[in-house]
Structure 1
């Protein structure tokens, strides 16, 4: 029995695909071992969202070959798709697998061994491939929450982003296939499903479906207690969308609405397809139909041409929305994108200063959101035993994705526990007493 080790870089979609490849290898008879152990096959699912991600991908590939020079090193995914020639010239890589070809991993390994270690490349023009790659999972590394990939590709072409070139055009998974996988996961004990994709809001545009209908169908599956959504585009939040979701009790009021900038001039240079006014309207609709939804976002600071005035406009806008969390990124030049060629690149020290200011602004917003829960009832899906200041707790998340711990009495893993929130245990973590 050959030993295989896998390592994932990048997003939740990549993580899903890595676990799917692991399942394929297990079914093919491989023994799965930790990545830091000696293996016959190393599979690295690469990322290419930034130049740094490319470098990390190469470093991990070289590390694998160094751990066992006689091993077969497989480079899969976005770095391979965007940098094929460079990957083919890399002596550390034995098999190259592009996006939409990961399901062929066991077959490609079999062919590689049969051909006495002849370097193999299975990378096609992703822009021309309009088929959705079928991958499946019946278990995940997490024991309570399962991420389900339902969509691939992106048609947006934001000026800073390489992903449409790495992932191709929008391709949606058939509704029946999604429901079949969710039912299997429910039967295997998973209580929370996270629907994810490269551009989740585009789900269904190519197969006469909608994301809302998909959510409604998943909602009917017995055993699933919670449905969480991956990142959404602001304009998907219409009156009908928000109202319909609020009528589905399993839907978690935790919405990650991608923003990137709170300044219309910057959004235009980014080639984002909405205005700040439209974004704010989406947030208003969610707060109209949900009592206290967690609204989170992404923001890029130091985008080419961002003036001090534009940055201050973003700061003011972020405060007006009052987010639970903001993922703050300093703009990183990505070769191959339009933004990389733009004039007025912002110096690194200014990006750092602006990033620090946003982190300072976020702290009171985050604390205010958490303090709202004190004295109120909460339902927590318990995940793991933890220790704080020498005292044991069991910790999990609310539907809003707020971390809450209860004093440890017994193993509560994968159980829904209700109680009254008593206060803040430590930074970003509340505690409650069970009912």
Structure 2
């Protein structure tokens, strides 16, 4: 039986697609092994969102080749797609598969195994490109399933390569989405994460144009679904209809990931983001008016071309004032073919690193403050794994990590839990099923002081 190993880089969409591709190989009679094991075929599901992600893709390919020089090495997804557009496809890879060609992965691998030279299967995008569905994997053994409902992006933010890597926006028919969600619940999953590249635009290309709120209203009523989480949504695509569903249905997780990217208006405009800081704050206020206890997470890019110290300081202050529950901080990565790549005043690497560290430190403090706000409350927790010391780790619906040593827990179980600050805090009288705690080591990170962009 031939063996195949996968390694995934990048987003939740990639993670879900890797699971689906692995399922296709299992159905075709292949054995799945770990990427560090000796395998007949190594498949790297690549990412191209940053230069570092592309470098990591190539490093993994070299590592696989060193592990077994007789093995086939395959790159799939975003990196082959954008590399072909630049005329820079690597020549030392046995099979290169584009983003739209993933559903054919088993067929392409079997063709490449018979070929005497590298095989390239990277289809060009067109307005006629349809939603590509890979046969779904049930991801047995996991507690959280991803459900891809949309692909592609046509926003063309000036720094972003994704529209070129993922193609035009296309949605999966609503009935197909509901059918798979029902199958996932019947397979035992407690939580489903709805994913896509630009999920907020779901349905605009479908007959009747069912929007994201329409899709969620159907999904929230799937019998037995305990949790439904939205992976990400752009700020100007949040509707009151969606917020009303969150308020109405307790199985709609109280967590929204709303990308910010910058907290300064000139930088936002240069990024071709379609809002300013006043718009963003208004949207956050609207969200919290419906759900005051919601967790709001975000992405921020530091070191965008031309970003001054004062502009970074404005972003820092804006992020702090919004009080996100978690930050994902990215250093700007120059992507050939994007408008931002040719902008003047590229920020030096050392300065991007300094700004990144400052925002990461702020994010750690904000996350800690949000988590501490749960102390003394009862929360529903999805328990996921147990370490060698018998300590369980799980997540609230607001995606706060908690721990417990309760003896009656198991993976993929949802219980109510009284939240403490740490294991030694006395537990109050509670009707909760278990007592859990948040990580308390180190206390709150100190507040940074910003003076004309200098972080102290």
Do the aligned residues in 1 keep the contact of 2:213 with 2:241 (CA within 8 Å)? no
Residue in structure 2 matched with residue 219 of structure 1 by the alignment: 220
Do the aligned residues in 2 keep the contact of 1:231 with 1:255 (CA within 8 Å)? yes
| Alignment size in residue pairs | 425
Do the aligned residues in 2 keep the contact of 1:47 with 1:79 (CA within 8 Å)? yes
Residue in structure 1 matched with residue 32 of structure 2 by the alignment: 32
Cα distance in 1 for residues equivalent to 2:98 and 2:218? 32
- Residues 237-316 of structure 1: pairs in structure 2 closer than 5 A: 237-316=238-317
Do the aligned residues in 1 keep the contact of 2:159 with 2:341 (CA within 8 Å)? yes
Q: Are 2:174 and 1:192 aligned?
A: no
- Residues 197-208 of structure 1: pairs in structure 2 closer than 5 A: 197-207=196-206, 208=209
Relative to structure 1, the CA distance from residue 319 to residue 89 in structure 2 (aligned partners, 3 Å threshold; closer, same or farther) is closer
Deviation at 1:128, TM superposition (A): 4.3
Do the aligned residues in 2 keep the contact of 1:87 with 1:96 (CA within 8 Å)? no
Deviation at 1:154, TM superposition (A): 0.3
Do the aligned residues in 2 keep the contact of 1:136 with 1:181 (CA within 8 Å)? no
Structure 2 residue ranges without an equivalent (≥5): 425-431, 436-456
Relative to structure 1, the CA distance from residue 66 to residue 141 in structure 2 (aligned partners, 3 Å threshold; closer, same or farther) is farther
Residue in structure 1 matched with residue 46 of structure 2 by the alignment: 46
Q: Are 2:328 and 1:327 aligned?
A: yes
Cα distance in 2 for residues equivalent to 1:295 and 1:185? 26
Cα distance in 2 for residues equivalent to 1:60 and 1:16? 20
Deviation at 1:308, TM superposition (A): 1.6
- Residues 91-170 of structure 1: pairs in structure 2 closer than 5 A: 91=92, 93-113=93-113, 115-140=114-139, 143-170=142-169
SS of the residue corresponding to residue 66 of structure 1 reads helix
Deviation at 1:365, TM superposition (A): 2.3
Report the TM-score, using the length of structure 1 for normalisation. 0.93
Runs of 4+ in 1 over 4 A off after TM superposition: 85-89
Residue in structure 1 matched with residue 385 of structure 2 by the alignment: 384
Residue in structure 1 matched with residue 443 of structure 2 by the alignment: none
Deviation at 1:59, TM superposition (A): 1.4
Q: Are 2:411 and 1:413 aligned?
A: yes
Residue in structure 2 matched with residue 372 of structure 1 by the alignment: 373
Do the aligned residues in 1 keep the contact of 2:301 with 2:329 (CA within 8 Å)? yes
Deviation at 1:42, TM superposition (A): 1.4
Cα distance in 1 for residues equivalent to 2:250 and 2:61? 44
Cα distance in 1 for residues equivalent to 2:117 and 2:362? 55
Cα distance in 1 for residues equivalent to 2:112 and 2:19? 22
Aligned-residue CA RMSD (Å)? 1.9
Relative to structure 1, the CA distance from residue 89 to residue 225 in structure 2 (aligned partners, 3 Å threshold; closer, same or farther) is closer
SS of the residue corresponding to residue 80 of structure 1 reads helix
- The more displaced of 410-419 and 219-228 is 410-419
Do the aligned residues in 2 keep the contact of 1:264 with 1:276 (CA within 8 Å)? yes
- The more displaced of 36-45 and 193-202 is 36-45
Residue in structure 2 matched with residue 231 of structure 1 by the alignment: 232
- Residues 395-410 of structure 1: pairs in structure 2 closer than 5 A: 395-410=393-408
Do the aligned residues in 1 keep the contact of 2:200 with 2:238 (CA within 8 Å)? no
SS of the residue corresponding to residue 148 of structure 2 reads strand
Deviation at 1:181, TM superposition (A): 1.2
Deviation at 1:34, TM superposition (A): 1.1
Cα distance in 2 for residues equivalent to 1:342 and 1:154? 22
Cα offsets for 1:48-105 (capped at 9, x unmatched)? 11111111111111222222222222211111001127665522x1111111111111
Deviation at 1:25, TM superposition (A): 0.6
Deviation at 1:47, TM superposition (A): 1.0
Do the aligned residues in 1 keep the contact of 2:302 with 2:312 (CA within 8 Å)? yes
Do the aligned residues in 1 keep the contact of 2:76 with 2:98 (CA within 8 Å)? yes
Cα distance in 2 for residues equivalent to 1:52 and 1:104? 27
Residue in structure 2 matched with residue 429 of structure 1 by the alignment: none
Cα offsets for 1:302-359 (capped at 9, x unmatched)? 1111112211211221122111111111212122211111001112222222223223
